[in-house]
Structure 1
């Protein structure tokens, strides 16, 4: 017998009617619910959390009347799909209980100068940043390669990877605010002499496990791979080295000229490039194969197309970007910071799983507009620990609004993720967010003033004229002084794209300035999607599976805990259509519709196509992972990255389940059941068990997979 769900005749059925699953309540309670020192809950419900956050952010407004007005509007938006990032949900309005915490998820370190003082100074700054609850990214290719001579010490350096180990240990030791372990990103230039060591670093058990790793890939390198030519591995020479050793800078066998983020004490040519010593040559395809092999086996390093990042940066006139936040959705300059927020798309679906299924565009635009003001207000309560971080975010007022639940929403609307229809929906949902956000940016600038950096005057340089030839066509010459708001609105490549849709808007932004320099990015949204959004699909992704296991850190537990979770669309289908439906059912009565696909059902090209459809209207970047099954052919795998490059993406990441290398956060029961783990006992005997079997060890019960991973990676008993 089927269950009927009654609704008022004048009210469409919506996905918001689906009850929360236990795992979602549990994660909210552990991660985001405000509690007193003695563990007493202060947030009684999730709505209580929303009220706390709305009140804290509305307090930024200028008058009591405005504070009350915007409190009500912010709370309405939070009840209709707006979800601030985890640091805001956890820390906004919680300062009486944890005063030293930040509302900012994303930061990037200042550039790490090649000296011991600078390296250790940045470790100190990073420790303070992680302690405040922020994630942080660094570029490490500014450090001399292994074996280079250090004249001040009269010795040879151990290279950048050895210093990364220091940052890794610091991050593991520093317990981030809110019970959150620190998150770091390490980036590395593809032309650095130690690039091969960076690529292979995570092959060593337990090494750099507090880092995500990404290579800074240039167009020059990609074309060298395409043409199968040599690639030069080089590092800058100090000007004093050139003079002391009388180096011939015109010798192409010894010297190559390259762009470099730090120029102090170096030798520059007429276009700002730095003289670099060539350490060795390598075939570009050999290096490419090393990257692909590591990514296939270990899911790292990731892939940042750094030329595209800088070319499309709204702040192209005042920033050079070389690093990102830990998940790659925010490419930031030195000391750059950005706050995040996502809109859950599933509540806007009316009459899901029916021929009348539709998306409520009017309410969506209203939520985007209110949420834009809300995120802008968060800048004022940033809680960042370093003065240079605070100056940076107050000057540019960056925020990154994105969405979550795209995969779930497509299923509710009856679309297959990756289909032409889904690409059109993805582009529209992103375009509408962008247009509404920039219209709000103008309104806020007219009310409160533009981002301060946009009122500054910038001197036009020869490099700027090379990057933007249209400056000269408009009569602007080298040495002229131009307002940041003009360079931002009229000459950034992204805002030129917005102008194709609304030229009047962009013209007014060039005249008035925008309230913020950046508006959008799509984050992975892992725990906010699982908790507050009832396990709607993460960010821009399809659902990983419809019933799977999530490995979570539970304070006091010696290995990660396996928690059963269900996709939001499965819960919605069971609640609204068929309570008996299950994944992979053989009987027609229990079968799910064909639109219920998972990450492994999506081809790599479809993953890239979805990302490209969104990236067109995202001014920062997107955290996106192309999941492939364990038996996915290696030769096909390699093509994913070239396809991403050709589609103009800013980055690309893949994941293939490989239990020999690591235990993922999200795991399918079938993969665990098919994987054996061997343990050596104290008497020398061995036992072999399946990954999903439970083992009692050291006074606790663990899954075999999680126990094996904790021991192998060295984190057993350290949470």
Structure 2
């Protein structure tokens, strides 16, 4: 009998807290309950065999069901919702809006996220038939947002939401800019995305006009490039809105003759029509790497095909066993039988194959995995159609004309022509956060690369306030450490251990594009931008993602995300100082290397980056005494002991280490760097630090060098919030631009 073995305490604890909810004492009991429940729609003579297939896949860790299945799918469970997210429709009438609000509340109560398109709602200021004016789409979104804050889903959490609005809607400018993080705390229960079209992108490229239209009436005409820049700017600073490529999504709609896929679930992996659901599971790719970390490593495609085939049956059965929050969703789902089988641990699988994520070898293997997933899924669905019947709305001649299906191998097309399909669409890539951390033993999530090799966390022991420190390891990194025979220092990872911040953004887009060619739904992925990415570079990435064929595009800018601590509201007299705990430093910390020359004096300043935020500063006063750092722009600062740090450089074939480079740090410059590091890791805004440096009447060369480096990390256009923030000439608001304090109104500028 299969046995599920834990190799990390954190994974076991999370699994127990999240999924052992029905009196189970072991993961095997959980998996047995799930297998029995999801196999129960099978014919009696086949039921036990299928149950054992499901059980073997679950206990081996090859198949990881979505969270609602793991938590709820048991014969005795009182909560029978096995699906994470749903879509609804919103009609342009008070009755329609409040009917949808009720539907939204019913879904939230069952523990589901909700996605909808609000493009049907009339724009702000439109005259109403009974007098008065329409309040616009944002006013109604606020009502849904408040409802989501009020309802605790599944008894323990608030519902996730996503709203989409067409780029031609007259309220689009307000929609694009409505979410500004902690500045306004708007729509906190929502993600938002803008639906763009091929015509819009052409208008952007040609710098053409773009009409904002509703119900055939042009409300306003703007430059398409202005709207594009507005979307990009708000996303660059506040990480929203995302992009929804409507024409590309519709091009690959298998049910094109019956509905439009004009909305998405909150995480963005399933593009769907209204009243659809997310029926999700993932195959764990790390389980199919044979002979990991050796030159003989290979991917077990035969085993992968077997798991995918079983997983398609598993998800199809989920549709028959789940309870639905709305009759409309049940009717539509059973007519079309939409499912979403994806994968997780792609980053770990590449690493175990000794491939760098984003390199040519990984792209080649990724494409083979993606194509195998598609072909196996469609073949399995056709076999299920022969066994159990096609989805009720199946129209075989029309199905065979779908653009995505026409790209399938000839043998599968012949099978579909004979049997039809059991499911209208089959594949996706979901984020798999908690399930990958628990069942996946902290494997890399979904399509993402490894986030971090290891980190420390504090755990309460249960004895008063006593805590212990526990190290959490990435799955592949732990496997690698377990296989080593030598006693090499912790942190010395081979170069194929690539983490999120190591990857060029365009290579990450290329990887997503490779998989999107073979995924009939969409892919949930957030592109993490390297610190210091300029706005112009960011806009280019937006266009690059569109050209590469991504159905959706979402980013996280670590510099932009700092806006919450860079901006403050008016201080109240009674306001107390809040003490902020600094995040713990890992053994290895990526750094950026800056070469600065001030009045003939040369300085090299290292800026340590933790999860996209500035964490520490080091200064090397006399670089001639060390390796020639002028050739390099990045490295790793490795903590070698108490107060001891090594600088590790890897650039192509060149590898160099500067041992204990802080040994001469006990100087005024070293002390200043220490204090600034302390301020950075405790959340002090960069503007305040830079202003304090410039206030020194002597403003020594080293302070000037530090100031120049730190200014590079302030976003252009950021408002000045420290000291005198009004222009000396016109009293307009000052902003940072190109490292200087500038007034956009009159052009006054001051550079320190």
Task: State the TM bucket, normalised to the shorter chain.
Answer: 0.7 to 0.9
Task: Give how far 1:205 is off.
Answer: 2.7
Asked whether the equivalents of residues 680 and 686 of structure 1 are also in contact (C-alpha less than 8 Å), the reply is no
Q: 1:379 aligns with which of 319, 336, 350?
A: 319
Task: Give how far 1:88 is off.
Answer: 1.0
Q: 1:127 aligns with which of 105, 114, 125?
A: 105
Asked whether the equivalents of residues 4 and 27 of structure 2 are also in contact (C-alpha less than 8 Å), the reply is no
Work out whether 1:184 is the aligned partner of 2:161: yes
Asked whether the equivalents of residues 239 and 561 of structure 2 are also in contact (C-alpha less than 8 Å), the reply is no
Residues 398, 549 of structure 1: CA spacing in aligned structure 2 closer, same or farther, 3 A cutoff? farther
Residues 23, 162 of structure 1: CA spacing in aligned structure 2 closer, same or farther, 3 A cutoff? same
- Which deviates more from structure 2 when the two are superposed, residues 54-63 or residues 628-637? 628-637
Q: 1:535 aligns with which of 409, 418, 442?
A: 442
* 3-state SS of paired residue (1:202): coil
Task: Give how far 1:551 is off.
Answer: 13
Asked whether the equivalents of residues 693 and 704 of structure 1 are also in contact (C-alpha less than 8 Å), the reply is no
Deviations 1:127-154, CA, capped at 9 Å, x for gaps: 11111122210111211111111122x1
Q: 2:411 aligns with which of 504, 507, 521?
A: 504
Work out whether 1:450 is the aligned partner of 2:437: no
Task: Give how far 1:678 is off.
Answer: 11
Residues 118, 71 of structure 1: CA spacing in aligned structure 2 closer, same or farther, 3 A cutoff? same
Task: Give how far 1:76 is off.
Answer: 1.1
Which residue pairs with 1:660 in the alignment? Answer: 562
Which residue pairs with 2:123 in the alignment? Answer: 145
Deviations 1:210-241, CA, capped at 9 Å, x for gaps: 111111011111111111111111111xxxxx
Residues 549, 693 of structure 1: CA spacing in aligned structure 2 closer, same or farther, 3 A cutoff? closer
Asked whether the equivalents of residues 678 and 689 of structure 1 are also in contact (C-alpha less than 8 Å), the reply is no
Q: 1:109 aligns with which of 71, 88, 113?
A: 88
Residues 156, 598 of structure 1: CA spacing in aligned structure 2 closer, same or farther, 3 A cutoff? same
Work out whether 1:159 is the aligned partner of 2:136: yes
Q: 1:493 aligns with which of 396, 403, 410?
A: 403
Cα distance in structure 1, aligned partners of 2:348 and 2:4? 15
TM-score between the two structures when normalised by the length of structure 1: 0.76
Cα distance in structure 1, aligned partners of 2:487 and 2:86? 46
Asked whether the equivalents of residues 486 and 511 of structure 1 are also in contact (C-alpha less than 8 Å), the reply is no
Which residue pairs with 2:504 in the alignment? Answer: 603
Which residue pairs with 1:38 in the alignment? Answer: none
Work out whether 1:210 is the aligned partner of 2:189: yes
Which residue pairs with 1:418 in the alignment? Answer: 358
Asked whether the equivalents of residues 677 and 690 of structure 1 are also in contact (C-alpha less than 8 Å), the reply is no
Task: Give how far 1:300 is off.
Answer: 0.8
* 3-state SS of paired residue (1:452): coil
Work out whether 1:61 is the aligned partner of 2:39: no
Structure with more contact order per residue of length (Cα contacts < 8 Å, sep ≥ 6): 1
Cα distance in structure 2, aligned partners of 1:635 and 1:108? 35
Task: Give how far 1:693 is off.
Answer: 8.2
Counterparts of 1:239-278 in structure 2 under 5 Å? 276-278=216-218
Residues 659, 680 of structure 1: CA spacing in aligned structure 2 closer, same or farther, 3 A cutoff? farther
Asked whether the equivalents of residues 179 and 185 of structure 2 are also in contact (C-alpha less than 8 Å), the reply is yes
Cα distance in structure 1, aligned partners of 2:393 and 2:458? 43
Residues 551, 194 of structure 1: CA spacing in aligned structure 2 closer, same or farther, 3 A cutoff? farther
Work out whether 1:73 is the aligned partner of 2:77: no
Residues 97, 372 of structure 1: CA spacing in aligned structure 2 closer, same or farther, 3 A cutoff? closer
Which residue pairs with 2:529 in the alignment? Answer: 628
Work out whether 1:85 is the aligned partner of 2:66: yes
Which residue pairs with 1:256 in the alignment? Answer: none
Which residue pairs with 2:514 in the alignment? Answer: 613
Asked whether the equivalents of residues 338 and 393 of structure 1 are also in contact (C-alpha less than 8 Å), the reply is no
Task: Give how far 1:688 is off.
Answer: 6.0
- Which deviates more from structure 2 when the two are superposed, residues 685-694 or residues 376-385? 685-694
Task: Give how far 1:652 is off.
Answer: 1.0
Cα distance in structure 1, aligned partners of 2:415 and 2:279? 26
Gaps of 5+ in 1: 1-15, 36-41, 237-275, 455-483, 553-561, 582-586, 664-674, 695-702, 706-719
Cα distance in structure 1, aligned partners of 2:529 and 2:576? 36
Asked whether the equivalents of residues 4 and 59 of structure 2 are also in contact (C-alpha less than 8 Å), the reply is no
Which residue pairs with 2:244 in the alignment? Answer: 304
Work out whether 1:223 is the aligned partner of 2:223: no
Deviations 1:68-105, CA, capped at 9 Å, x for gaps: 111101111212311111111111116x4433x41112
Counterparts of 1:32-51 in structure 2 under 5 Å? 32-35=19-22, 42-51=23-32
Task: Give how far 1:175 is off.
Answer: 1.2
Deviations 1:404-435, CA, capped at 9 Å, x for gaps: 00011101110011111111111111111111
Counterparts of 1:516-555 in structure 2 under 5 Å? 516-548=423-455
Cα distance in structure 2, aligned partners of 1:44 and 1:210? 35
Deviations 1:643-662, CA, capped at 9 Å, x for gaps: 11111221111111244346
Which residue pairs with 1:643 in the alignment? Answer: 544
Task: Give how far 1:510 is off.
Answer: 2.0
* 3-state SS of paired residue (2:279): strand
Asked whether the equivalents of residues 91 and 121 of structure 2 are also in contact (C-alpha less than 8 Å), the reply is yes
* 3-state SS of paired residue (2:546): helix
Residues 676, 230 of structure 1: CA spacing in aligned structure 2 closer, same or farther, 3 A cutoff? closer
Deviations 1:259-299, CA, capped at 9 Å, x for gaps: xxxxxxxxxxxxxxxxx111111111111111111111111
Gaps of 5+ in 2: 460-468, 586-680, 684-752
Task: Give how far 1:51 is off.
Answer: 1.1
Residues 67, 579 of structure 1: CA spacing in aligned structure 2 closer, same or farther, 3 A cutoff? farther
Task: Give how far 1:26 is off.
Answer: 2.1
Residues 659, 651 of structure 1: CA spacing in aligned structure 2 closer, same or farther, 3 A cutoff? closer
TM-score between the two structures when normalised by the length of structure 2: 0.73
* 3-state SS of paired residue (1:148): coil
Cα distance in structure 2, aligned partners of 1:72 and 1:573? 31
Which residue pairs with 1:397 in the alignment? Answer: 337
Deviations 1:604-633, CA, capped at 9 Å, x for gaps: 111111111111111111111111133222
